[in-house]
Amino acid sequence: MRNITDAATRTERADKGRILLTVARSAIAEALGMPPDDAAPIQADWLQEKGACFVTLKKDGELRGCIGSLEARRPLLQDVHANAIHAALHDPRFPLLSLAELEDIRIEVSLLSPSTRMAFTSESDALNQLRPGHDGVIFECGSHKSTFLPQVWEQLPDPAMFMAHLKLKAGLPADFWHEDVLIYIYNVEKYAEGDS
């Protein structure tokens, strides 16, 4: 019985990933001037529920754009659509994606869980609580804010280096610390083109 349940779960996950990645790729293609896909519109009730996602674009294994939402404020369908276009055309770190590049782009959609505020007494206490490879992290202090998806642990597996780069991304020195620092953690369901 468990094998049947596991197979059903894998099939459901694969279907969900296919839908999310199709929405993202179609949104980018249309934004780049390609005619809309004539396929039947995607019908999935869960796409109408509020959701937060990040859409990441990679080219030759390197980041080519990444934009997302930290909080669920609109239907997931709209969030995926808008973030895909913004990752392709409005990530200030990269030039606009060209139509010629589109076929070389690998798309990832990460669905975010609600974030949880961490309780800690010091930076070392916070670092000791982080779970490398598992936690997405939001760093906040005053008007400075940044986040790394859990996938970033692949490049920065050490919690201290991870946090230092998160602070740099927020526009602060790598060794910055203040009693007003807030840290939130979240999890993601990641779906990527090319994953089985």
> Residue 18 belongs to a domain with what CATH number?
3.30.700.20
| Chosen domain end from 68, 91, 112 | 112
| Chosen domain end from 74, 90, 112 | 112
Q: b/e map of 7-20 (b: 16 or more CB within 10 Å)?
A: eeeeeeeeebbebb
The answer on 79 and 12 residing in a single domain is yes
CA nearest to 186, candidates 70, 74, 80: 70
Q: Structurally, how many domains does the chain consist of?
A: 2
SS3 category, 43: coil
The answer on 106 and 25 residing in a single domain is yes
SS3 category, 170: coil
The answer on 6 and 90 residing in a single domain is yes
The answer on 77 and 145 residing in a single domain is no
| Chosen domain end from 112, 137, 156 | 112
The answer on 127 and 108 residing in a single domain is no
**Is residue 196 domain-resident?**
no
Q: Tens of pLDDT along the chain (196 residues)?
A: 566 566 667 778 778 999 999 999 999 999 999 887 766 567 789 999 999 999 999 999 999 999 999 999 999 999 999 999 999 999 999 999 999 999 999 999 999 999 999 999 999 999 999 999 999 999 999 999 999 999 999 999 999 999 999 999 999 999 999 999 999 999 999 999 987 5
**Is residue 13 domain-resident?**
yes
Distance CA 127, CA 62 (A): 27
**Is residue 194 domain-resident?**
no
The answer on 31 and 80 residing in a single domain is yes
Q: Which two tokens stand for residue 49?
A: 């529920």
Distance CA 123, CA 176 (A): 10
The answer on 88 and 136 residing in a single domain is no
C-alpha distances in Å from residue 163, one per residue of 27, 57, 136, 143, 181: 33, 23, 11, 17, 12
**Is residue 155 domain-resident?**
yes
State which H helix or E strand residue 128 sits in: helix 123-129
The answer on 126 and 107 residing in a single domain is no
pTM: 0.89
Question: What's the domain range around 50?
Answer: 2-112
